[in-house]
Every structure is written in C-alpha cells, then in structure tokens.
Chain A
C-alpha cells in the first residue's frame, strides 16, 4: 500500500478551450517547477512540502465539444472523472454558462464524482493556488480555501 494519500483533482472550466488548456498548463507548470518560488508564494506555506512530490491531476474542460466558445457538460464530467483519485475534485470556472453548468451538475447530483465542488475563485490565480495546494497533499477544504484566498492578492 502506498504511503501517499490520494491527491485532490482540479478541473478548469472555461468558455474557451485554449484558455482552459493554457491555464491548466500554467498551473501544472508552476506547481511542478516552481513550487518553492512564485507558486509557493501564491499558495502560502501549504506548498512547502511539495519538493519532489507528484503534481496534482489537472484537467481542462474548455469550450464546446465542436471547439466553439461555450460550455459542455460532457467535457466537464469527463474531465472530473479523469482527475478523480477519491480525494475530491475542485472545479474552477470562468463565467456565465461555465458557472451555471457546473452549479446545475452539482445541484442535480449523480454526474460528477462524489466530493466534487465548485470553488469560488479567480480563474487563473485560483487555479495556480489550487494545483499547488493539491500537489502538496492538502485535502479538498484546504484546496478550496487556498483558491478562494487568491481573490485577496491585490496587484496594486
């Protein structure tokens, strides 16, 4: 039996496929490569124990199935299943139908993995904080809190 507990999965839902893919790559890259630096600063002390560890599973669900702008509940549920390791799945969304589709899927139950939750966070900064925190082995509540706190990082 592995001594590592399962990591929280992260799903990034955007109106745009390229936006979701790029933010997933950005967050995964920062969590994997710069854990002690920039990303560590975003996610606070939680990333401290990350060095050498696995990066949390991240999946992008952007745009519609035919590659247009919009939201696809099938892409979202497939992405959530891909990253579900049994520790919960945090879904971050951009706006409009992305928000409403995830809320509708969660409200009606049965389509997303158990423990899936919509995390209220800024999309890019929240994604980085969530992936870094999840990669450190934090539970879903801590991942959610780290992503939410990204609202507080003022830029001026």
Chain B
C-alpha cells in the first residue's frame, strides 16, 4: 500500500529527474517546439518540492497534506501556477484529477493508483483535445496506465517505449502540429517527460520495497538466526 510519504518521495524523485534531464527535454523541444520544456518543468517541479517541504516545516500555518490524494492535488495546483507553459495545466490537471480520484484514503493500492491515473489521463486528453497517436504526452501516459496493474516496472517500460514510439508520428496537437510533416522524426518532449514520471514512480516503489525487505531482515535478525535462512526467499 502507498501512503502520503510515498507520493512525496515520488514527486521529489521526479523533480530530481526533471532537473537532471532538463537539458535533454529542452533539446527535444527545440526542433518541434519552443525549447522551453525542460526549463518550464524544472521550475514547476522545483516549486512542487518546495511547497511540499514547506507544509512539513510549517505545520502551524497549514496542515500538511496527509493523504496521497492531497499530496497530488497540491502538487498539481503548484504546477498549474508555476510552469508558465502548456505543460503546467496539462501535468497539473493530471496530478489534480488523479489526486481527486484517490479521494481521502490514507493509503492506496497500486490498482487504485492505476484507476486514478486513468481518470487523470482522461482529463488531460479532454483538456488538450488530444488522443493517443497525436504525438503528445498521452502516447507515454496511456500505455503506462494500461500496464500499471501488472507492475510499476511494466508501467515505466511502457511509458519509455510509448515515448520512443512518438518519433515517427506526425504531431496533431500543440505547437508542433504547425510543423506538419516536419514534426516526423522527433521524439515528443511531453511523452519523454511523462516517461520520466513513470520511471521515477517505479524507482520509488523499488526503493521502498528494498527498505521494507531490509527492515524485515533486521527484525528477523534481532529475533535470532532463523531470519538468515529466510533471506533467500525474497525475489
């Protein structure tokens, strides 16, 4: 089960990945966009992390978001207000709608998150008037959401493959669509950043799994030597 701390951790990992990959995202945005995707998303995710951290430090002024839904909604709101480009309302809507779909549950299962992200992806599609195949973030998002019920790793892989599969597509939405056939041969920057989101989701889940396993081992180790034999049982 995934709690609010897991989602904070995911968003921090996503922010770090966006920061690391900002130049690549902007490079992808140069031939078919206005060369600001990396810097815009970096500004947005930096603000998301700062806001989430400030809610932890500043508990007297406002309650820190203590459910997955509240964490995602706050992050989405922050993206809408700080990104300054089209990716702000698009990613902001994705996170807010996903957060809203998760409701007030203090902990959610991977399947709940898949359902909620589908609602978020539907809202993105509606907002932009786009569908899979239009060479947008949906080309990474939708396959990832489809694969998420299987595993986090499958979702990350589907997102990466979906982003790569935008290369031969002709853009039908956004600024790139003005280029017509000249948009063919370039990876969509929004699909590339969506893949980062799912890669960091899988990394966060793997980190938590490893930590849990370590804690279990430590607890078993404290109980005696029986735990040592049990270690081989972990996949």
Contact = CB atoms under 8 A, between A and B. Distances in A.
Given A96-B174, A96-B175, A104 B86 contact: no
Nearest to A104: B89
A97 B88 contact: yes
A70 interface: yes
Contact of B127 (A71, A73, A96, A104): A104
B85 interface: yes
B127 A100 contact: yes
A116 to B, nearest CB: 15
Q: Is the contact region of chain A dominated by helix, strand, or loop, or is it mixed? A: helix
Contacts of B89: 73, 97, 100-101, 103-105
Interface string B91-123: 011001000000000000000000000000001
B127 A68 contact: no
B84 A72 contact: yes
B168 interface: no
Contacts of A64: 84
A73 B128 contact: no
A94 to B, nearest CB: 12
A37 B100 CA distance: 50
Contacts of A74: 81
A68 B84 contact: yes
B86 A100 contact: yes
A104 B80 CA distance: 8
A107 B127 contact: yes
Interface in B170-191: 174-175
Interface of B: 36, 40, 80-81, 84-86, 88-90, 92-93, 96, 123, 127-128, 174-175
